[in-house]
Amino acid sequence: MAASHAGTARRKRPMKTLLIVHHSMTGGTLQMAKAAAAGAAAESTVAVRLLHAPQADACDLLGADAYLFATPENLAAIAGLMKDFFDRTYYAALGRIEGRPYGTLVCAGSDGTNAARQIERIATGWRLSAVAPPLIVCTHAQTPEAILRPKQITPADTARCAELGAALAAGLAMGIF
């Protein structure tokens, strides 16, 4: 009986956790984060936690095996509430999450690279491992009205987000990350 139980234990993999921290003012980034979460949820051995940045804390970071950080680019920077999340959690997690995989989602009006670069710098300090280049969706919103209008992310772009979530979850499940 013990040998049978040991064989079962070897086949069963422990549940891994993917934490998706996001902020969205006009809905675009939230659509991207939800698409990534849906893609990741297809992996049955990975628990997906989707948290709004003000609700996420250092315990959430420490309890996760991988991360997706999703932000709009505001004034060529990450959103203030994402910055607040990183400010509140950075030192509590420093030296405790090294080597864990992460990805970045940015919803931008025209560029997005500076927001992605900011997250990359933070992740470098934490010594996280990027699993893919930042996924930037450009909405081309350039006027105050267009910038503040609710966003609708295209099916092609939400599919890209879902693919990133699925790839990250699959890598976790297979032990690649």
Query: DSSP assignment of 88-145, as one string?
Result: HHHHHHTTTSTT-EEEEEEEESS--HHHHHHHHHHHHHHT-EESS--EEEE----SHH
Number of compact structural domains in the chain = 1
Quick one: how far is CA 41 from the chain centroid? 13
CATH number of the domain bearing residue 124: 3.40.50.360
Question: Per the confidence metrics, is the pTM higher than 0.85?
Answer: yes
76 DSSP assignment = T
**Any domain includes 97:** yes
10: in domain: no
Would you say residue 4 lies in a domain? no
Tens place of pLDDT for every residue, the chain, 177 residues? 444 444 444 456 579 999 999 999 999 999 999 999 999 999 999 999 999 999 999 999 999 999 999 999 999 999 999 999 999 999 999 999 999 999 999 999 999 999 999 999 999 999 999 999 999 999 999 999 999 999 999 999 999 999 999 999 999 999 999
Determine the structural domain holding residue 91 and report its residue range: 19-174
Q: Is residue 142 part of a domain?
A: yes
Domain contains 3: no
